[in-house]
Structure 1
Amino acid sequence: MKKVILDLAVTLDGFIEGPNGETDWCIMDDDMDFDGFLSSVDTIFYGRVSYDMWGNYQPDENANQDEKSLWKTVHAKEKFVFSNQNRKDDNATFINSEISNKVNEIKQQSGKDIWLYGGASLIKTFIQLKLIDTYRISVHPIALGNGKPLFEDLQERIELKLLKTNVFKSGVVQLIYEPNK
């Protein structure tokens, strides 16, 4: 069965973006092997705002080849957008009801794992519905003081089991957890 993997950057003080939505603090080290992560998934779950911003993003012509290759790989994945809108889109399937049932149907399909891309509202929904199988959280060595927190309005505790820790040359520490069942 496919797993839903939340792969996300977070600041040391727990924010996934700054107060104005900024993510310019995110570090992409070559030793993070993001390409390896991308090769382990064949599906991406987006919220509508994140999809509209990044789901069809194309780097400009001055971007380096690595960035162009990264986005080509991302856009080759099957995309599902969770939204109240019921839009037609050639590049994604929109889901606007029965989230748990539809996610479980997708998880039953053959193939690789699923990247829960976000945004914050979708992540909060997946946390509340207990749909995340793996939390892959990369803690960046910066504190913002305010912004959008990762764990917002939790209705109950989430107990997690640490599976692995990766430390990168930039000081980013990646923590990989699964929920205690």
Structure 2
Amino acid sequence: MYKHETLRKALKKVVLDLAVTLDGFIEGPNREIDWCIIDDDMDFDGFLASIDTIFYGRVSYDSWGNFQPEPDASPTEHLLWKGVHAKKKYVFSSQHRHDDQATFISSDLAHQVAEIKKQGGKDIWLYGGASLIKTFIQSGFIDRYRLSVHPTALGSGKPLFEDLKSRLELKLIKTNVFKSGVVQLIYEPEKYN
């Protein structure tokens, strides 16, 4: 095995785990995500166990980075958010801000992402939002796409693949089908194959 292949396998992977509609939107025209289905057979706990870091954009972090479910929410929901909040968090933002729960990154994105990937450990969840995801797609920073395609068509909204500068070639690694009709497609960029 070549040295660069060994290094690539040792690096943490940036994983985009995301719900998308059948017509390719990640949110509706009013930022709604009420179409997202959560099945107990989706094994989100297994996904959380495979990561130790989460990348957020500032808007997503402000909305979800410290979210706490209502006291009367199910024990499963409380455990899910406890698992999410146990991860190391990085927020990519033009704002310089001190936060005890996250590290804010405001410059030299490529260098910062490369350094975090070298830290070892488990993989990184690219949580979003849409602007950060777009930047990561255009920069080639995503190592694995886990797209859960929901059986809903919105007709308009925020598309996942927007303003691509060049064609994105992906190789299908695995497919999971859930009882709700959600189909999860797991891809890696062709550069890894």
Measured against the shorter chain, the TM-score band is over 0.9
Tell me how far 1:137 sits from its aligned partner. Answer: 0.3
Counterpart residue identity of residue 168, structure 1: F
Tell me how far 1:107 sits from its aligned partner. Answer: 0.4
Which of the residues 124, 131, 144 maps onto 2:134?
Answer: 124
In structure 1, the partner of 2:6 is none
SS at match of 1:101: helix
Q: Give the TM-score taking structure 1 as reference length.
A: 0.99
In structure 2, the partner of 1:20 is 30
In the aligned structure 1, how far is the partner of 2:55 from the partner of 2:32? Answer: 21
Q: Superposition pairs for residues 1-181 of structure 1, below 5 Å? A: 1-181=11-191
- Segments of structure 2 that go 5 or more residues without pairing to the other structure are 1-10
Tell me how far 1:110 sits from its aligned partner. Answer: 1.7
In the aligned structure 2, how far is the partner of 1:14 from the partner of 1:111? Answer: 32
Tell me how far 1:160 sits from its aligned partner. Answer: 0.3
CA RMSD of aligned residues (A): 0.4
Q: Which has the larger radius of gyration?
A: 2
In the aligned structure 2, how far is the partner of 1:110 from the partner of 1:130? Answer: 20
Counterpart residue identity of residue 50, structure 1: S
Cα-to-partner distance string for 1:102-150 (whole Å, 9 max, x where unaligned): 0010000021000000000000000111000000000000000100000
Percentage of matched positions with identical amino acids = 75
Moved segments of 4+, more than 6 Å: none
In the aligned structure 2, how far is the partner of 1:157 from the partner of 1:119? Answer: 22
Q: Give the TM-score taking structure 2 as reference length.
A: 0.93
- Segments of structure 1 that go 5 or more residues without pairing to the other structure are none
